[in-house]
Amino acid sequence: MNTPPALWEYRLGPDDSGQKYLSILLHKFHFSIKLLNRLKKGERVWVNGKFTYLTSRGKEGDLLSVELFPDEEATIKGEDLPLDILFEDEYLLAVNKPVGQVVHPNNRYPTQTLGNAVIGHWERRGENRLFRPIHRIDRNTSGVVVIAKNQFAHQQLAWQLERGHIHKRYHGFVQGVVAENEGTIDDSIGFAPNSFIKRQIDPNGISARTCFRVLHRYPTATFLEFILETGRTHQIRAHCEGFGHPLLGDDLYGGDTTFLTRHALHSSMYAFLHPATGLPIIIRAPFPKDLRDLLIHLKDFVTA
């Protein structure tokens, strides 16, 4: 099976004249040293259609081309599983992950994961790739997950993520009526006592910051939008419990499970700059059926 290569190209401008191609790729476009070393060994960098050394200097008008590595040995077994694709091109795949599915195989969940589904999707098209999710969400959180299709796309989005250039939004339903229209929870998070899973507010823990905005209030619940400024494990869940409004259905953090048996949290939007074009990309995922049903129940409760 042969995976079609992704070709990255850039036309040098006036400011690039006299610069080494290495410097342009490293400093202007944030190619990692690891990737540049692979490109150098594979002779995958050309100027105006001819192989060039990274230490050569460019001039205005040069067309710098980089062939990104197409074939990689998958480390996850592909499976024929449903996959709700929101966006895909030669660099990225974005999917709407269902409730109950783990992102990456582990000892407890070795199969039926999102990774197995993605690799199976690519294998059926004759493509060999590694599974490189840019971020992970909990097994029972639904919504957007973005996967890089090559090393370049992964390191480009990782660079954006580290610098806060990627914007993620979640929607959730919490227990009780939140009084403030909006606010920020700026509380550090650590492990809860005697647990390897649950987190809690801990002044000695890792810094975590969650912004929220009320979208609608119901008699016994509140519909919130969350914007994460950090990405800690269980951050929203622990912060909601900490300020007295656990997510509905979240039994681990004290949420009411009367109408929902999983925490009512959905990864609804992921915005970033495309790794190759630099153009803004916004990925949105619709609510799954259980949250749509919860919305109907809450609305019926208001009108009853």
Return the active site residues. 138
* Count of other CB atoms within 10 angstroms of residue 216: 13
Contact 173, 89 (CB under 8 A): no
Rg for the chain, CA atoms, rounded: 22
| Rounded Cα–Cα distance for residues 24 and 141 (Å) | 40
What secondary structure letter does DSSP report for 57? B
DSSP letter for each residue of 93-126: EEEEEPTT--SS--SS--SSSHHHHHHHHHHHTT
SS3 readout for 162-222: HCCCCEEEEEEEEECCCCCCEEEECCCEEECCCCCCCEEECCCCECCCEEEEEEEECCCEE
